[in-house]
Amino acid sequence: MIAIPTLILIFSGAATGLIGAMLGIGGGVFLVPLLTLVLGVPIRTAIAASLISVIATASASSTINLERGLVNMRLGMTLEVATTLGGLAGGLLAAALSQRQLFLAFGATLALMGVVMALRSGRRNVIAHDAGVEPGRLGGRLREGDQAYVYRVKRLPLAMTASLTAGAISGLLGIGGGVIKVPVLNAFCGIPIRVAAATSAFMIGVTGAASAFLYFGRGDIALHLTSAVAVGALPGSLLGARLSQRVEARSLKILMAVVLLVVGLRMALQAL
Amino acid sequence: MERAVEAALTAGVAVSGLLLVAGLLLGSTAPLWWGVLLLIVTPVVRVLVVTAGLILEHDWLFAGVSLFVLGVLLSSVYVSGRL
């Protein structure tokens, strides 16, 4: 592998951390393609670096999301049961797959989620404007400007299944899994996009940690490359979490759908 | 509880960030190693804080859920030690 200048790695981490924190998806979906397709890093090394960077992004952006009251902590902890189990399984499975299989799995996952996100971008999930409506044990309240909204969690088994899959993909592909959880939580489970993104980011750190220990134990982490990317991801994600409040929810969904489709197809083509 | 979780995450991110920057500037491996390890451990500490918070709130159902998550994380640490 050619030595890549530290500043380029820091910039890559910052850029993907910024976009990742804006969308609540950690940023691995952008970082892995950037490291492999543009900078020529082997996919296994890129996945390990991305996993650490995703944890950094999740932890840093969660400090801001918690301050804003966007994180639904009880829902997050419940879904983490599934994401951590998936993360552990994915982390173990990663060692058994070839480089080509990893590229194909990555590309297909992203393109599929892009299609789902694009098809459901027009829906709103807020159930009532009246803050007196009961949100249930896992639901919550959200304040946007002067308006208070209430949402209830629908189809919890689906949310758990999506979280298990997200965890497994996180451990396998180093991408955090927000790319699966945010669209499913938003499109099918009644969670407003900002809460889905913030709660997903909150969970991603824990999901990532479940498999990161395995990568660490196997010695798969390229220390200099990973550290440089993580150093960039920290300020990038703090800025991204601050900017996310200023972007309209529908624009967030469409931006995410387009990026997923393009990056997904590019990754799948790489494997063919 | 939100405040305590926020403080734990902020501390973990700040210290690991400093270690990583120091390691990169000095060209030294030890701070990088500790910085990466601390980044991975920070979410585990976050789960510990949430568990403690839920126990203090007598929310036994979600404290149980939180303890389960902690168990999965610890089993991952155990498995990684045997790879």
The pLDDT tens digits of the residues spanning B11-57 come to 999 999 999 999 999 988 999 999 999 999 999 999 999 999 999 99
pLDDT at res. A268: 79
Q: Please tell me the distance in Å from B81's CA to the nearest CA on chain A.
A: 6
pLDDT at res. A124: 59
Instruction: Map residue A149 onto helix, strand or coil.
Output: strand
Q: Which helix (H) or strand (E) holds A86?
A: helix A73-94
Question: With contact defined as beta carbons under 8 Å apart, do A212 and A55 qualify?
Answer: yes
pLDDT at res. A132: 63
pLDDT at res. A229: 94
pLDDT at res. A105: 82
The answer to ipTM > 0.90 is yes
pLDDT of residue B6 exceeding 90: no
pLDDT at res. A10: 93
The pLDDT tens digits of the residues spanning B69-81 come to 999 999 988 888 7
pLDDT at res. A32: 87
A141 has which bridge partners? Answer: A150
Q: Please tell me the distance in Å from B73's CA to the nearest CA on chain A.
A: 5
Of residues B29, B41, B73, nearest to A223 (C-beta): B29
Among A244, A240, A162, A174, residue whose Cα is nearest residue A33: A174
pLDDT at res. A128: 54
Q: How far apart are CA A123 and CA A119, in angstroms?
A: 9
pLDDT at res. A138: 78
Which letter does DSSP use for residue A27 in this model? Answer: S
Q: What angle do CA A243, A13, A72 make, to 5 degrees?
A: 50
Q: How far apart are CA A45 and CA A59, in angstroms?
A: 22
Chain B residues with beta carbon closer than 8 angstroms to that of A217: 79-83
Chain B residues with beta carbon closer than 8 angstroms to that of A211: 76
Regions of chain A where pLDDT drops below 50? 1
Instruction: Map residue A45 onto helix, strand or coil.
Output: helix
Question: With contact defined as beta carbons under 8 Å apart, do B23 and B30 qualify?
Answer: yes
